[in-house]
Copies of this chain bind each other. A is one copy, B any other.
Amino acid sequence: MTLSAPEDAPLKLRDRIENEILTGDMPPGFRLDEVTLATRFGVSRTPIREALFQLASAGLIEIRPRRGAVVAEVGPERLVQMFEVMAGLEGMAGRLAARRHTDADRRSLTDAHEACRRAAETGDADAYYYENERFHHAIYAASRNAFLIDQCAALHRRLKPYRRIQLQVKNRVANSLAEHEAIVAAILNLDGDAAERLLRDHIVIQGDRFSDLMASMSERAGSTAAKGR
């Protein structure tokens, strides 16, 4: 299973491990043994350790001194917190995008939205997942704040696996698209307050949607558990 497909030829070690974590090949709690990884990737322990430190900084794994590294367990509570922050950041990006976007931003935003619509109409969930990502990145970019773009992209990336599950919830694609519609309108109308509010609500998990996500998660946990040790 692969998540994204850039030029995958010179993929750095860090990204390869990161992918395995994000795709769930290395489930939460999975023990990351240095020598095992080293032999598996055909390198020595040194570059492995460097990659692990970077992943630890990103919060994807947890390094306990002298006790090795494990894939970070993100419990329901922390997951909700992360989505809450994501909602805040996206709302902020939307507000800024509404009053700062350039003509080029406007175009890439509408393009991405149209691509989402096409994917939704064909009912291809995977395609929608991909185009949805493009849509959100277009909003980040339109905020014209490079630091905010970095922060949003980083958190978005970390939430990738859960977002994917989220889309499997019933009717989510149709609802998501309708929300996109309103978001685009708000940004193009330079209505920052509306864009912020709409994006916040678009991301936030609450009520039924939250329960659904949690349910999907626990199912999934059952199927992938005990891969570690």
Give the interface of A toward B (CB within 8 A): 46, 49-50, 53-54, 56-58, 77-78, 81-82, 84-85, 88-89, 92, 96, 145-148, 151
Give the docked Cα–Cα distance between A226 and B39 (Å).
Answer: 45
A148 to B81, CA, bound (A): 7
Q: How far is the CA of A61 from the CA of B178 in the complex (A)?
A: 42
Inter-chain contact B85/A88, CB cutoff 8 Å: no
- List the B residue with the shortest CB-CB distance to A55: B57
B148 contacts A78, CB within 8 Å?
A: no
Q: How far is the CB of A104 from chain B (nearest CB, A)?
A: 19
> Please, how many angstroms separate the alpha-carbon atoms of A18 and B96 in the complex?
32
Closest to A150 in B: B59
A147, B92: Cβ atoms closer than 8 Å: no
Chain B residue at minimum C-beta to C-beta distance from A51:
B53
Contact A85 B53 (CB under 8 A): no
Instruction: Please give me the residue from chain B that is nearest to A92 by CB atom.
Output: B88
**How far apart are the CA atoms of A145 and B81 in the complex, in Å?**
6
Most buried by B among A77, A88, A148: A88
CA distance in complex: A82, B146 (Å) = 9
- Shortest CB-to-CB span from A197 to chain B, Å, is 12
The 10 closest A-B CB pairs, nearest first, are A57-B57, A81-B147, A88-B92, A81-B145, A53-B53, A82-B147, A85-B148, A54-B57, A50-B53, A85-B147
A78 to B25 Cα, complex, angstroms:
37
| Distance in angstroms between the alpha carbons of A16 and B89 in the assembled complex | 31
Residues of B within 8 A of A58 (CB): 57
In the bound complex, residues from chain B placing their C-beta under 8 Å from that of A88 are 88-89, 92, 148
A89 vs chain B, min Cβ distance (A): 7
Q: Say yes or no: A146-B92 contact (C-beta < 8 A), given A50-B50, A57-B57.
A: no
Alpha-carbon separation in the docked complex, A85 to B148 (Å):
6
User: How close is A150's CB to chain B, nearest CB, in angstroms?
Assistant: 8
Closest beta carbon of chain B to A45's beta carbon, Å: 11
Of the residues B54, B148, B151, contact of A53 by C-beta under 8 Å: B54
